[in-house]
A and B are shown apart, each in its own frame.
Chain A
Amino acid sequence: KQEVTQIPAALSVPEGENLVLNCSFTDSAIYNLQWFRQDPGKGLTSLLLIQSSQREQTSGRLNASLDKSSGRSTLYIAASQPGDSATYLCAVCGSARQLTFGSGTQLTVLP
């Protein structure tokens, strides 16, 4: 059974810092890996999707990497802003399109 772990569980940084969120998974037979953002009381918003054959994806200040063989992914956020404050969830997609989620990293960016 696939298990997804995210470290750290919570992170507080001053505005402008670059930061890295970590995600690890136990079964490397994945279809893709997705990073989501969740604001309090809201649904999930997809940020980046990395195919199993890819090494990284970039969108604006966000960069996600994938090392399938070691079961790791990182989400890099450059020049963090208070508006980036949210919970970031990593999810691994199996061949049947089902997502297995990590428990999330709660990020606070202090002005």
Chain B
Amino acid sequence: DAGVIQSPRHEVTEMGQEVTLRCKPISGHDYLFWYRQTMMRGLELLIYFNNNVPIDDSGMPEDRFSAKMPNASFSTLKIQPSEPRDSAVYFCASVIGTEETQYFGPGTRLLVL
């Protein structure tokens, strides 16, 4: 199994631009989580899905952030417009409902100038 796949691995953009982060969970996993990691705030849960349905988006910082999961094998996290304070590493993780260990992707390192 290839594990959780995230793209791009690195993204540099200018303030005001739209950013789209992508995640492919492990096949068969029915939960998908988006996290953000910064030096100041550590790892924070942004949103998670169960069977492609958003369950809790209370961690999404602002309306500039949105996430979708159109099917079981793909999810996006979009920031529009981006701001320098959005600079962070964004992780995607998945888990199968019968187990409990979350499997993390390698992360997308985002820098907004």
Contact = CB atoms under 8 A, between A and B. Distances in A.
A98 B57 CA distance: 11
A97 B91 CA distance: 16
B101 A43 contact: no
Given A43-B91, A103-B42, A98 B33 contact: yes
A99 B42 contact: no
A85 interface: no
B100 A31 contact: yes
A99 B100 contact: no
Contact of B104 (A31, A43, A98, A102): A43
| Chain B interface, DSSP helix/strand/loop, else mixed | strand
Interface residues of A, number: 24
A86 to B, nearest CB: 14
A98 B101 contact: no
Contacts, number: 50
Contacts of A53: none
A57 to B, nearest CB: 12
Interface string A31-44: 11010100001111
A53 B100 CA distance: 14
Contacts of A100: 45
User: Chain B interface residue count: which class?
Assistant: 20 to 34
A97 B102 CA distance: 9
A101 B104 contact: no
Given A43-B106, A44-B91, A101 B100 contact: no
B106 A97 contact: no
A43 B105 contact: yes
Contacts of A49: 100-101
B18 interface: no
Contacts of B95: 97
Contacts of B56: 96, 98
B48 A98 contact: yes
Closest 6 CB pairs of A and B: A101-B43, A43-B104, A44-B104, A103-B42, A43-B106, A46-B101
